[in-house]
Amino acid sequence: MSNVTTTTQINADALTDREDAFIAKFKSRVIGQEAACEVALDVYRVLTNPLRDKTRPIGVYYLVGPSRTGKSYTPETLAEILHGSKKAVTRIQMADYNNDAQILDIKGAPPMYVGYQDPAKLKLNPEDVDPTSLLSSHNLKRVRLNSKLPVDIIILEEFEKGNADIFKLFMGIFDKGELRLGNGQVVDLRSAVFFLTSNIGMDTLARKATAKKIGFIQNEAETAITPELIAQTVKEAMREQFKPEFINRMDMVAIYKPLDHDETVRIVDTEIEMVRERIAASLPAFKVFELEVSLEAKAYLANKAKENGGSIAELKRVMNRLVLNPLGREINQGKIAGASVVHVVVKDGALAFDIVDPSFELTTKAAETQVQPRGRLSLNKKTYKVTATAPSFEELSSIVGDAQHDLAEIYGIKWGVLTINRMQSPVSGTFMLKAMPTQMKNFANEYPEFEVVEVTDVASNPAA
């Protein structure tokens, strides 16, 4: 009897269903930066790979490009996806470390030095800041905000501005995945992801392109700034500043580009969707209303952000000042009734809010401003059956755990008992919940691997 050999071809670039869902969630938040998506996918693949090298950090990524292009926003978004909050990061401003005394803030003071902390005598509560070191095990765990995933996201801002000693310190960390503190304790950094943000070469690029400003949004005068020019300039600048052995420790050098107007408007769309989620999650059911924003209003918000540099942070400030704060005042004054539709439009060169009572149809005037009706929001919660499948029980638990975390933290939704079927392959898990249609629509978009089905005949409340 002859042996039969089966050959399977592996496509290294093909995405699994879970990878596809992960990167879709990331792309919904980080717009227009393919380099950022490559970094996020690499982090996810290494993090979930049982064969990864566990003698060094999960990854070291050098994020470089013009100011205000979303470099710091990349690790913040990963922190939000992995830990549930953008604040679950450790941030170090490298420009602050230019001498030995300052570097002790990271290494911790040794015995006989001012600031030495005896670990045997140091009693800390979980929420306390450990004065020993910014990178102490306690501080790393504290910023994860009780997340069950033991992954530390560390941002080294403007890395090129540190001095030679700080470079040497981090080269050792990147190589061995650990840091020995001054008090003798060893910090395990093998489950850390390092993001080194940098503007290296951007001054040279500005001179080459004869541009007056390089920012988050690309102006007409800056069209000479091509991705090829940025890549060439960055490569030259890194060779001048860093030794080859340092560059070789980078898992990826991701180059960010200025965003054009259309990409910025897409970011406005993302911010608006986040406002809609907040409306559904934060207000009592009888006060929930629909929010519609015209194309003209979106362009207005993008241009306002551009006036002050065009950063993502500036766009958020513009959204707060021109959209969230006015809406909050109208809600507090009782001018927005539940089930109303609020249309954000541009009138006389400024944003205006047209509030349509639920008893009236969309007016012709609102339609002319390119507002697309999304339909009336039902104030009555409906019952849904949510089902996920996975190759193994462990993977199913991870998928369902992530989803239930978002349901609780983002939407404030409780769910019923999880029923798992282990007798079939793949393994499946089902739970019931009650939610508003818009909430479940947002959830289904965020988690395409779940099947969400409305249940019309339920004898009792499955998720009271």
Instruction: Walk along the chain (464 residues) and give the pLDDT tens digit of each residue.
Output: 556 666 666 666 778 888 988 998 898 888 888 899 999 999 999 999 999 999 999 999 999 987 777 899 899 999 999 998 889 999 999 988 877 667 777 888 777 666 667 776 778 888 888 888 889 999 999 999 788 899 999 999 999 888 888 888 999 999 999 999 888 889 999 999 999 999 888 877 767 655 444 444 445 444 456 767 778 888 888 888 888 888 888 999 998 877 777 777 888 888 888 888 888 888 887 888 889 999 999 999 988 887 776 666 678 888 999 999 999 998 898 888 888 889 999 998 899 999 887 654 444 344 334 333 333 343 456 788 888 888 877 777 777 877 877 777 666 677 777 787 767 778 888 888 887 776 777 777 777 778 888 887 544 343 43
Range of the domain at 51: 17-255
H or E element that contains 91:
strand 90-93
Residue 376: inside a domain, yes or no? no
Q: Of 464, 447, 450, which Cα lies nearest the Cα of 385?
A: 450
Domain boundary among 343, 368, 393: 368
Residue 464: inside a domain, yes or no? no
Residue 3: inside a domain, yes or no? no
Q: Is residue 109 located within the same domain as residue 194?
A: yes
Alpha-carbon distance of 234 to 243, in angstroms, equals 14
Q: Is residue 102 located within the same domain as residue 230?
A: yes
Residue 78: inside a domain, yes or no? yes
Alpha-carbon distance of 139 to 126, in angstroms, equals 9
CATH value at residue 97: 3.40.50.300
Q: Is residue 32 located within the same domain as residue 101?
A: yes
**How many residues does this entry show for the chain?**
464
Rg (the chain; Cα; Å): 25
Q: Is residue 231 located within the same domain as residue 322?
A: no
Model confidence pLDDT, tens digit, residues 157-193? 999 888 888 888 999 999 999 999 888 889 999 999 9
Domain boundary among 368, 393, 423: 368
CATH value at residue 364: 1.10.8.60
Query: Would you say 235 and 26 are in contact if contact means Cβ atoms under 8 Å apart?
Result: no
Domain boundary among 255, 279, 314: 255
Structure-block tokens of residue 253: 């050098």
Alpha-carbon distance of 57 to 157, in angstroms, equals 18
Query: Would you say 351 and 412 are in contact if contact means Cβ atoms under 8 Å apart?
Result: no
Q: Is residue 180 located within the same domain as residue 284?
A: no
> Which residues, in sequence order, are CB contacts of 359 under 8 Å at separation 6+?
none
Q: Is residue 197 located within the same domain as residue 268?
A: no
Q: Is residue 86 located within the same domain as residue 182?
A: yes
Residue 146: inside a domain, yes or no? yes
Structure-block tokens of residue 403: 């989803």
Residue 462: inside a domain, yes or no? no
Q: How far is CA 338 from CA 54, 294, 439, in A?
A: 53, 21, 16
In 312-393, at which residue ranges do the beta strands (DSSP E only) sit?
341-347, 350-356, 382-390
- The three-state secondary structure class of 458 is coil
CATH value at residue 449: 3.30.70.260
Q: What is the total count of domains within the chain? A: 3
CB atoms within 10 A of CB 223: 12
Alpha-carbon distance of 413 to 435, in angstroms, equals 7
Rounded to a whole number, what is the distance in angstroms from the first to the last CA of the chain? 62
Which value, to the nearest 10 degrees, does the dihedral of the CA atoms of residues 152, 156, 157, 163 take? 170
φ, ψ at 314 (rounded to 5°) = -65, -40
| Model confidence pTM above 0.95 | no
Q: Is residue 359 located within the same domain as residue 312?
A: yes
Q: In the beta sheet, which residues pair with residue 254?
A: 63
Q: Is residue 305 located within the same domain as residue 420?
A: no
φ, ψ at 144 (rounded to 5°) = -75, -5
φ, ψ at 353 (rounded to 5°) = -120, 115
Q: Please state the separation of Cα 433 from the chain's center in Å.
A: 26
Q: Is residue 162 located within the same domain as residue 266?
A: no
Alpha-carbon distance of 108 to 117, in angstroms, equals 8
DSSP percent split of the chain into helix, strand, coil, nearest 5: 40, 15, 40
* DSSP code, position 320: I
Residue 7: inside a domain, yes or no? no
Q: Of 240, 302, 250, which Cα lies nearest the Cα of 56?
A: 250
Residue 138: inside a domain, yes or no? yes
Q: Is residue 24 located within the same domain as residue 125?
A: yes
Q: Is residue 203 located within the same domain as residue 270?
A: no
